[in-house]
Amino acid sequence: MTTDHPSQLDDYARVRDVLSFLTENWRDQPSLEVLASRARMSEDGLQRLFTRWAGLTPKAFLQALTLDHARAMLQDSASILDTSYEVGLSGPGRLHDLFVTHEGMPPGAYKQKGAGLTISYGFHPSPFGVALVMVTEFGLCGLAFADAGEEGKALADMTARWPNAQYTEDSAKTAPFAATIFAGERWQANQPLRVTFIGTDFEIRVWETLLKIPVGKATTYGDIAGAVGSPKAARAVGAAVGKNPISFVVPCHRVLGKSGDMTGYHWGLTRKRAILGWEAGKLSA
C-alpha cells in the first residue's frame, strides 16, 4: 500500500472509534469531554483531529449527522433526480463534486463475469480507511474500503463480482485515480474521472442515477425507483445500490430511508456516517 498520506489512516482510525461509540450512545448526546476520553485524547486534541480530518468541530460534525439534518438533505430528493444525465454533471450546484464521465464496457462483460478483462488494483490510504482502487483500460471500475488488516477481505469481496477477470496488483497504475478521488482540489470539470460500470442494465441505470445526487443532498430508494422508470421496484433498487462497485465516487452513501434514517451501507454504517460528515465539512469550507 502506498503511504503518501499515512496520517489519514491514523486520523480515520480515531474518528471511526468515536463514531462507533456515538452510534451506540447517540441518545445520550455525549459531551466533548466524554468523546475525548473515549478517544484517549484531550478535548483540544479531539477538536484539532476533527477539524483536520473533516474541516468541522466535533459538535458541528455531530449536527451534520442528526435526523433533522438528514431530513433537510431529502427535501429535494425527487427533483434532483429529474435532471438529465450529463457528462461531467457540471453546474453551479455541483461545485463541491467530483466530475465524472462514464465510459462504456464491451458488451457481455458482465454476463461473462469479467472474462477478457484485465483489472489492475492497488491499496491506498484515504480519509475513510484503506481504499482498494480497481481500474481497467476503460477507467475506474471498483472502489472499496477496509480497515487496516482487512484488505484481503475487501479484495475477495470485489474479485468475486467478476471472477473470470484477470487481476494484477499495480499500485502505480491506481495511484493517480486515488489521488484524484480524495483530493478536492483536483476535482476539475475539464479533467473528469473516467469510470466504467460492470453490471446488469438495471444496475447500471441505478448507478447512473446515483451520480446525480450532489454533495449535501440525499435521496431515497423509492425516488430512485421512480427516476429509473420502475416506481414499484424500491426493493430491487436497494439491492442494486448495495451492489454499487464504485463506493464514494458513485455516492450510494447519499441514499437514506424515507424518514431520514441511516440505512445500510456495504462497507459499514460507521463509514457511511464518516463520509457524510466529511462531505459536510467540505461544503462548509
**Which residues belong to the active site?**
252
Bridge partners, 11 (sequence order):
none
d(CA 46, CA 123): 27
Q: Where are the beta strands (DSSP E) in the chain?
A: 100-103, 118-126, 129-136, 139-146, 166-169, 193-196
Find out whether 130 and 224 touch, Cβ atoms under 8 Å: no
Strand bridging mode 118-126 / 129-136: antiparallel
Which whole-number Å values give the CA distances from 53 to 8, 89, 117, 132, 218, in the listed order? 8, 26, 36, 20, 22
Other residues' Cβ atoms within 10 Å of the Cβ of residue 148: 13
